[in-house]
Amino acid sequence: MKNIAPSEQLKAIIEFRKTYKAPVDMMAPSRINDEKDDRIYRFQTLIGLMLSSQTKDEITLQAIKNLQNGIEGGLTPSTLSNSNVDTIDQLIKKVGFHKDKAERIIEAAKICHRDYDDDIPHTMKELTALKGVGIKMATLCMADAWHEQVGIGVDVHVHRISNMLKWVKTNQPDKTEIELQKVFPKELWEPLNQAIVGFGQTICSSKKPKCDLCPIL
């Protein structure tokens, strides 16, 4: 499929990933929480994304469970905003940069509690104003929490594989997002991140790729 259009290559990877699961699949909002309260659901999705940076998905998922079970009253903007930093740090101690993240998620909780009626921001501008939330994270949050696809979340896997497959020719993830939006129709933006991240985690790794299993070679 080397000479097939990028959209067809992406569709093949998406179809392949339906039966070839990856760690990223554990980080779907429905796996993070089963809250019926939409505001708490969105908040826990945001916290999960904030903890996920430079951290394996399995560890992020466990950290969220630790917060859900370890904070009296559960994981909400109100309860987290009133929590002790050292206590939160212990609950998330296996995630990367846990000390900084403990402070940042408490700060985010205070803002959500004070300024958004225990909900989360509903725009990219407001989300990226939260310390520790960048463009990629905000894009994923808009999609996962608000079900609004405003862009394409680009992490190291998406950036690397998009360039390797010559979908784009970029040197920075932010530029990759812009170029990918030109390459793919909007209906493919939503599944692209999870499909390619999982593909990079399981098949197209940077160190030991399993090319014999690749659906587009």
Contact 20, 202 (CB under 8 A): yes
Residues 6+ apart with CB under 8 A from 45: 29, 32, 33, 141, 144, 145
Q: Which residues are catalytic?
A: 136
Local confidence band at 30 (pLDDT 50, 70, 90 cut-offs): low
Condensed to tens digits (0 to 9), the pLDDT of residues 6-26 reads: 999 999 999 999 999 999 888
Cα 20 from Cα 152, distance rounded (Å): 22
Predicted TM-score of the model (pTM)? 0.88
